[in-house]
């Protein structure tokens, strides 16, 4: 059956005239419609054909709309159910939404009422299908270990995972672009481990960590006596990675002379060891990564145009962590289990999780992993609280509030809030911090910043402080 432009609807209603009228009207609106006169008939149709939405009457003899929807979701968990109901059964319709219905519509209704609900239902169907495909992608991808798994179901990560799955089975050169800490090496490992070369080594070199002469020797190897200190012949990483993958990190830092030699490896696989006159041939897949805009380096003459085009066969762009905040809870769980410190994984207090979600994470995923490692060390009773998080997380938040809007007005409001919290808690700073929703250290900073300790009339006694 060819799929319609807007989607496929299964309309279930025991009122024959209404069912036929809906089928005809919604077909004219661009949907592909099929009708059923009972819940049982609807389920039999659903077993044989695929649908996007079910539009079902609530009150039907034999099997009502809620019972039918429950069974329909067992057949197709991605299908979206919409209940039609009369005024007197609204509470039941609301209850139906708790058991799986997406929305309900009151009888009698007109097309203008129905169409927006159907459009939202189709959007939900699309999102469910995308999430299912993502889970399938994730299930098909394999990793060296759970520690190196790709974590996240945000749209940005869905794009990354799709690209990995598409490019991994090929031998295409891959350029991974993203800010520091976004996981460029992790993506390179995923590409290698899901390729035909996964049983051969993946070798990594960081161009920013070595001087030009050392980088050339590391990459291409050298002959005995090629330079002072070359007491024996040494194979380069290109040779070590034979049959596997060479991951070149921070490729923008590579000197122009080495860029020309790398270009030749990419074009025909030929290279020479330092100090050698004999050419060798490499069978390696190259994956490069950069956190800098190569286009600008190319225009400034610091990066070869031909090398840029040769590296840029397939590009994988990695998002900043703050651009995929919905992935943060999953990342927190991942790091607390795969990088566990202590006998059991730590839990995160809701206030601490709120702070983690609100922080801008300039260091991206790497910073999050390091913060959680530190927090596990400081945590008591395996519970991470705001006191276990770095002060900079709260300093940044406070500064961002002051910088927006009217600084004087915001500062006054902040000062009054601290004074009022201390007054209500009779000077107990632990309780005051909890009341304000900040860490105790953050409260101490605010008290010092506004010099509240010096104003005895505003700062209550702190004898209850703990």
Query: Would 381 be classed as within a structural domain?
Result: yes
Same domain, 173 and 293: yes
Same domain, 294 and 326: no
Query: Would 390 be classed as within a structural domain?
Result: no
Same domain, 345 and 298: no
What is the model's pLDDT at position 87? Answer: 63
Contacts of 333 by beta carbon, 8 Å cutoff, 6+ apart:
none
Identify the DSSP state of 394.
H
Q: Which CATH number characterizes residue 407's domain?
A: 1.10.10
What is the model's pLDDT at position 136? Answer: 64
What is the model's pLDDT at position 463? Answer: 40
Say how many C-beta atoms besides its own lie within 10 A of residue 423's C-beta: 13
Q: Rounded to whole angstroms, how far apart are CA atoms 141 and 195?
A: 10
Kindly report the pTM of this predicted structure: 0.60
Q: Which CATH number characterizes residue 247's domain?
A: 3.40.50.300
Task: Tell me the β-bridge partners of 384.
Answer: 348
Query: Would 142 be classed as within a structural domain?
Result: no
Last residue of a domain, one of 329, 359, 385: 385
3-state secondary structure of 90: helix
Same domain, 200 and 339: no
Last residue of a domain, one of 265, 297, 317: 317
Q: Are 287 and 171 in contact (CB under 8 A)?
A: no
What is the model's pLDDT at position 352? Answer: 92
Domain extent at residue 360: 321-385
CA distances from 48 to 42, 76, 374 (A): 10, 11, 55
What is the model's pLDDT at position 465? Answer: 45
Query: Would 460 be classed as within a structural domain?
Result: no
Same domain, 165 and 202: yes
Q: Rounded to whole angstroms, how far apart are CA atoms 284 and 261?
A: 15
Q: Which CATH number characterizes residue 48's domain?
A: 3.40.50.2300
Q: Return averaged pLDDT per consecutive 10 residues of the chain, 466 residues in all.
A: 70 90 91 92 92 90 87 89 77 69 82 87 84 65 75 88 92 95 94 92 92 88 79 87 95 92 91 85 94 90 92 93 93 93 90 91 94 93 91 60 44 76 84 79 80 52 43
Query: Would 368 be classed as within a structural domain?
Result: yes
Same domain, 243 and 275: yes
Last residue of a domain, one of 385, 409, 434: 385
What is the model's pLDDT at position 200? Answer: 93
What is the model's pLDDT at position 448? Answer: 79
Query: Would 13 be classed as within a structural domain?
Result: yes
Query: Would 464 be classed as within a structural domain?
Result: no
Dihedral over alpha carbons 411, 413, 419, 423 (to 10 degrees): -170
Q: Are 64 and 39 in contact (CB under 8 A)?
A: yes
Same domain, 113 and 228: no
Same domain, 43 and 93: yes
Q: Are 54 and 80 in contact (CB under 8 A)?
A: yes
What is the model's pLDDT at position 38? Answer: 92
Same domain, 171 and 209: yes
Same domain, 239 and 357: no
Contacts of 335 by beta carbon, 8 Å cutoff, 6+ apart:
368, 369, 372, 373
Q: Rounded to whole angstroms, how far apart are CA atoms 437 and 410?
A: 17
Q: Which CATH number characterizes residue 378's domain?
A: 1.10.8.60
What is the model's pLDDT at position 372? Answer: 95
Give the chain's domain count.
4
Q: Rounded to whole angstroms, how far apart are CA atoms 145 and 156?
A: 23
Same domain, 306 and 179: yes
What is the model's pLDDT at position 369? Answer: 95
Rama region for 68: left / alpha / beta (φ>0; ψ in -120 to 50; rest) = alpha
Query: Would 254 be classed as within a structural domain?
Result: yes
Same domain, 242 and 347: no
């Amino acid at each position: 059956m060819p799929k319609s432009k807007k989607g496929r609807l299964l309309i279930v209603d025991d009122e024959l005239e209404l069912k036929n009228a809906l089928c005809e009207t919604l077909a004219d609106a661009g949907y592909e419609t099929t009708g059923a006169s009972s819940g049982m008939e609807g389920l039999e149709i659903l077993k044989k054909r695929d649908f996007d939405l079910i539009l079902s009457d609530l009150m039907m003899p034999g099997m009502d709309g809620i019972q039918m929807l429950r069974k329909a979701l067992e057949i197709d968990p991605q299908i979206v159910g919409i209940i039609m109901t009369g005024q007197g059964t609204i509470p039941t319709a609301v209850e139906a939404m708790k058991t799986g219905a997406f929305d309900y519509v009151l009888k009698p209704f007109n097309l203008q009422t129905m169409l927006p609900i159907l459009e939202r239902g189709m959007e939900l169907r699309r999102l469910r299908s995308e999430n299912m495909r993502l889970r399938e992608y994730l299930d098909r991808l394999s990793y060296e270990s759970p520690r190196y798994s790709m974590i996240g179901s945000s749209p940005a990560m869905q794009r990354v995972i799709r690209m990995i799955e598409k490019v991994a089975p090929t031998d295409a050169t891959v350029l991974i672009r993203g800010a520091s800490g976004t996981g460029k090496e992790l993506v390179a490992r995923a590409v290698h481990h899901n390729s035909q070369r996964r049983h051969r080594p993946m070798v990594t070199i960081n161009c920013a960590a070595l001087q030009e002469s050392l980088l050339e020797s590391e990459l291409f190897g050298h002959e005995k006596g090629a330079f002072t200190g070359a007491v024996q012949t040494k194979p380069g990483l290109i040779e070590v990675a034979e049959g596997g993958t060479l991951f070149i990190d921070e490729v923008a830092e590579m000197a122009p002379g080495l860029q020309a030699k790398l270009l030749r490896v990419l074009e025909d696989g030929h290279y020479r060891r330092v100090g050698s006159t004999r050419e060798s041939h490499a069978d390696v897949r190259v994956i490069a990564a950069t956190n800098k805009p190569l286009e600008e380096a190319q225009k400034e003459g610091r990066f070869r145009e031909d090398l840029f085009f040769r590296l840029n066969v397939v590009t994988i762009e990695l998002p900043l962590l703050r651009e995929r905040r919905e992935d943060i809870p999953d990342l927190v769980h991942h790091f607390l289990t795969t990088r566990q410190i202590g006998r059991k994984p730590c839990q995160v207090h809701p206030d601490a999780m709120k702070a983690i979600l609100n922080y801008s994470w300039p260091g991206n995923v790497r910073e999050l992993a390091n913060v959680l490692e530190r927090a596990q060390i400081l945590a008591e009773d395996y519970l991470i609280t705001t006191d276990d998080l770095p002060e900079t997380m709260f300093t940044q938040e406070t500064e961002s509030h002051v910088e927006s809007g009217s600084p004087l007005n915001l500062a006054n409001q902040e000062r009054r809030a601290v004074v009022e919290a201390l007054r209500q808690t009779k000077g107990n700073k632990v309780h005051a911090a909890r009341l304000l929703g900040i860490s105790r250290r953050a409260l101490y900073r605010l008290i010092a910043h506004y010099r509240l300790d010096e104003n005895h009339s505003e700062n209550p006694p702190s004898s209850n402080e703990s």
